Structure 1
Amino acid sequence: MTKRITHWIAGQQWSGAPAERQGEVHDPATGAVTALVDFAGVAEVDRAVGAAAEAFRSWSRTSVARRTSVLFAFRELLNARRDELASIIVSEHGKVHSDALGEIARGQEVVEYACGIPQLLKGGYTEQASTGVDVYSIRQPLGPVAVISPFNFPAMVPMWFFPIAIAAGNTVVLKPSEKDPSAADFLARLWQEAGLPDGVFNVVHGDRTAVDRLLEHPDVKSVSFVGSTPVARHVYETGTRYGKRVQALGGAKNHMLVLPDADLDLAADAAVNAGFGAAGERCMAVSVLVAVDPVGDDLVARITERMARLKVGPGCNGDSEMGPLVTGAHRDRVTSYLDSGTADGATLVVDGRKHPVASEDASGESTADGFWLGPT
């Protein structure tokens, strides 16, 4: 029987019937369907926001000392079980285990920052700011807040936001990517083990239906988003139209410029590490490199030599340096860039469609399962 991934609402896994709409979750290394994830409709989102609103009444009045103690407990649990969480990320995203551990470490930094919330929440007082006028500033929780996170960092990006929100006395509804949803449910269970009251942290899975309901819901006071630029624009425009505070971080890819006096070995190392780490699915991956004459051909040769040494394989293998892409559709879209590039006159120096993971049948077609595209 296929595993079912469903929502975490008010401190427990959703026990209702499977959703009418579900999405497939794959192991990118094999292409196998490993689970079906429920897609929330308006009713499920409303239930999660309602749980967050109810929990906010008491959590917002909980002492800073008590909230901090929960944060410290969560930190310890996350540190103790980081390998387990990394394995979940590898199984659904495809990145290598060491990369997944690095993602968790970056998220843990924000958790540790939130552990200092007593100092961060301090207000201020200015006497006689103007004649006979004293000025106070205080920091108060907003209420239920939403986090909408992308597939490429299923643990780190949510942890950019929810530790601060929770430590400050808010409650959270997280909508993770439907491509790799299990990390969010794992984090929800860690929060419960850490002593977080039910309803303070909730997870709803789904697609645009769930996103739009979060953006429109009158009880959601703010929205934090990371994803593509078109969706960021939609989130920002819709959320602010409904009077919410919104931070919407749109798509980002680095551009690298190599000047003629550059250390070309250092530049080649940087280009390969940035271009192929996490199969190029990082926000900060270098997707465009501009080499100023006359170093271009030399730089391409050095990059090509380094690419040949990259170990491509399943993320669960300890020596793999680059895993598969997250879905077959994403792999096919990236592959299409090779065809469009050569059609526009580019030279394809390394063709990742033929790589160490794949084998070929008699016709020369790849027989590899999984969503593989080698360094290209």
Structure 2
Amino acid sequence: RDHYAGRIARVSAYVKQLLFSNPQRRKILSEIVFFSISTQFEHFFTMLRLIGSETLNVARRSYASSAVPTTKMFVDGKFVESKTKDWIDLHDPATNEVVTRVPKCTQAEMQHAVESAKNAFKTWSQTSILTRQQIMFRLQHLIKSNMSELAKNITKEQGKTLVDAEGDVLRGLQVVEHCCSIPSLQLGETLPNVAKDMDTYSYTLPLGVTAGITPFNFPAMIPLWMFPVAITCGNTSIIKPSERDPGATMMLMEMLNEAGCPPGVVNVIHGAHDTVNFICDHPDIKAVSFVGSDQAGKYIYERAGRNGKRVQSNMGAKNHGVIMADANKENTLNQLAGAAFGAAGQRCMALSTAIFVGEAKNWIPDLVERAKKLKVNAGHVPGTDVGPVISPQSKERIHSLIQSGIDEGAKCSLDGRGIKVPNYEKGNFVGPTILTDVQAHMKCYKEEIFGPVLVCLNANTIDEAIEIINKNPYGNGTAIFTTNGATARKFVNQIDVGQVGVNVPIPVPLPMFSFTGTRGSFLGDQHFYGKQGVKFYTQTKTVTQLWRETDVSHTQAAVAMPTMN
């Protein structure tokens, strides 16, 4: 039995590898012949069923038959090969080997995806809210059951550690779970007898076709911020995942199919600038959600808004952590190191700036020692704390910003630029880096580095620290570490930042709230997920109706402004 199982496993592995060259076909064929002449029929048919299952999985995932697999579109509930001639190579950040090729979809392909979503909206918007809720229940179960597989894909394409990748999936899963309460979230309002025999009620309706443009740093979480909320509210959705790591989104589409979501309700297109422009300009797309860089976010907000679309745009950040001398030292330094260097600093809520107040600056050497102990390696290697950054270009930019800080007078207390990772010499690795004696005018402070770099400033008082933060243009998140309640309360009340943590380094709200970045970190009127997310994806219709109980056959036309008395 073990011998047969081994043979079956090898056949399964051959198919999974997707190497459909002639030698590979002959190898699979030889296995079939071996089974047909030397085993019982039940073993032979077990093998055939397994081959069929694996082949079906290949078809469903829609990888191409070339040596380097391609990522496909997802339209009308099917994975579809793009006919484009323009492709983007996707590299494993740990090795820089090509993992897959991502298409720049043609205008016709993108138009077809929108038409599909538009047609699906006609029936989906009339589907009962309980049916939409049931699909979310099933999707929640499927994501939870496949969390490790999603995490492996994220690590392969994006580079973050497996543990961090599972966290990526979990935070998105929590939004799906919150969407399961959509019957309560989408309730309208009613007021009877606003006037004699007159009632008024309002209810929330979907917008139509919506779109989401997602970043590379959270391949699962950010798409799950978008399409589950959109479709449970009755919309249909077009998702453009990052061309750097679309695999998690494609896996989620497979799960969405399995959950019973009708074809066309969510479609996935790929590309870069032309795809973004298409989304911003298409008249049938009513709302656009975006998470990413400042430059792209401002561009999308302006272009889509000019075309009459709703837009929510989460952009850059410079999140400050204020360390008071009365804080719990050990806990604070551990949290600071984790929040600054986790995910290689590629989080929009990374705690990339520390302000040490008063004597707390004496803790910096201990922080450096903690950072030195963090293990830098490929994300799939057990025990890794810091994986690679997304690309060689990102690595080069991080190096440049570190050097700019040194050139402007900052001290490099820990330099991670020269790190070498055995067996991954071609990877995009930057070790934990700490710049101290940083001033607010320096480039390394003013720009979002988006890497494992912590810039440290000093302040004499809490008031000075608050002033530094409030002068910074960003308003995504901030945190204070203290054991003094009065200090914490003062900070919370006076700080001009949308999300504040008290002894919590990364204060990302759970989905029963909303992600509420402000100032230079957000453009739009309604934030992501929570109650504000539902408002973003819906519109209100208000009905005022009059059913008089008395005889109205002899009334005269009224031309005055109705006062409803």
Asked if these proteins are the same fold (TM beyond 0.5), I'd say yes
Q: How does 1:353-372 map to 2 (within 5 A)?
A: 353-355=417-419, 357-358=421-422, 368-372=425-429
SS at match of 1:224: strand
Output the amino acid matched with 1:336: S
| Equivalent position of 1:319 in the other structure | 383
Give the drift of 1:345: 1.4
Report the equivalent of 2:510. Answer: none
Indicate the SS of the match to 2:205. coil
Q: Tell whether 2:211 aligns with 1:154.
A: no
Question: In the alignment, does 2:110 pair up with 1:45?
Answer: yes
1:299 matches 2:299: no
Give runs of aligned pairs for residues 259-270 of structure 1, distance below 5 A. 259-270=324-335
Equivalent residue number for residue 217 of structure 1: 282
| Gap change, CA 1:249 and 1:133, over 3 Å in 2 | farther
Aligned to 1:35: 100
Mapped partners of 2:373, 2:420: distance in 1 = 11
Quick one: which amino acid aligns to residue 224 of structure 2? M
CA–CA distance in structure 2, aligned partners of residues 143 and 90 of structure 1: 34
Q: Residue 363 of structure 1 aligns with which residue? A: none
CA gap 1:233/1:130 in 2 versus in 1, 3 angstroms: farther
Structure 1 unmatched runs, 5+: 360-366
Aligned length: 367
Question: Which one of the candidate residues 250, 264, 280 is aligned to 1:185?
Answer: 250
Give 3-state SS (helix, strand or coil) of 1:195's partner.
coil
Distance 1:132 1:211 in 2: 51
Greater shift in the superposed pair: 257-266 or 63-72:
257-266
Larger Rg: 2
1:345 and 2:402 aligned: no
Asked if structure 2 preserves the Cα contact closer than 8 Å seen for 1:313 and 1:324, the reply is yes
Report SS of the residue matched to 2:413.
coil
CA contact (8 A) 1:41 1:209 kept: no
What secondary structure sits across from 2:219 in the alignment? coil
State the distance in 1 between where 2:124 and 2:411 align: 59
Q: TM-score, normalised by structure 2?
A: 0.63
**Which protein has greater RCO, CA pairs closer than 8 Å, 6+ apart?**
1
Distance 2:198 2:213 in 1: 42
Whether 2:393 is the aligned partner of 1:329: answer yes
Q: 2:192 aligns with which of 103, 124, 127?
A: 127
* Residues 356, 129 of structure 1: alpha-carbon distance in 2 compared, 3 angstrom cutoff: farther
Distance in 2 separating the partners of 1:258 and 1:74: 41
Work out the CA distance in 2 between the residues paired with 1:304 and 1:163: 41
Instruction: Extract unaligned runs of 5+ from structure 2.
Output: 1-66, 434-565
**Residues 1:10 and 2:76 aligned together:** yes
Matches within 5 A, 1:155-304: 155-296=220-361, 298-304=362-368
Residues 90 and 100, structure 1, Cα contact 8 Å, conserved in 2:
yes
Q: Is the 8 A contact 1:265 1:302 kept in 2?
A: no
SS in 2 for 1:221: strand
Q: Is the 8 A contact 2:73 2:82 kept in 1?
A: no
Tell me the distance in 2 between the aligned counterparts of 1:293 and 1:197.
59
Q: CA deviation at 1:368?
A: 1.3
Shift in Å, 1:195: 0.8
- Distance (Å, rounded) in 1 between the aligned partners of 2:103 and 2:82: 11
Q: Deviations over 1:338-376 (max 9, x none)?
A: 2111111111111112336258xxxxxxx8111111111
How does 1:107-122 map onto structure 2 within 5 Å? 107-122=172-187
1:98 aligned partner: 163
Percent same amino acid at aligned positions? 39
Secondary structure, aligned partner of 1:272: helix
Moved more, 277-286 or 69-78: 69-78
Give, in angstroms, the shift of residue 166 of structure 1.
Answer: 0.9
1:179-212 deviation line (CA, Å, top 9, x unaligned): 1111111111111111111111111111111011
Alpha-carbon offset, residue 3 of structure 1: 1.2
**SS at the partner of 1:294?**
helix
Once residues 293 and 65 of structure 1 are traced to their aligned partners in structure 2, the CA distance between those partners, rounded to angstroms, is 56
Structure 2 partner of 1:364 = none
- Residues 186 and 233 in structure 2, CA contact (< 8 A), matched pair in contact too: yes
TM-score by length of 1: 0.94
Contact kept in structure 2, 1:32 and 1:370, CA below 8 Å: no
Whole-Å separation in 2 of the counterparts to 1:346 and 1:131: 73
Match of 1:349, SS state, is: strand
Using the alignment, how far apart are the partners of 2:287 and 2:250 within structure 1? 22
String of CA shifts for 1:63-83, please: whole Å, max 9, x gaps: 112211211111111111111
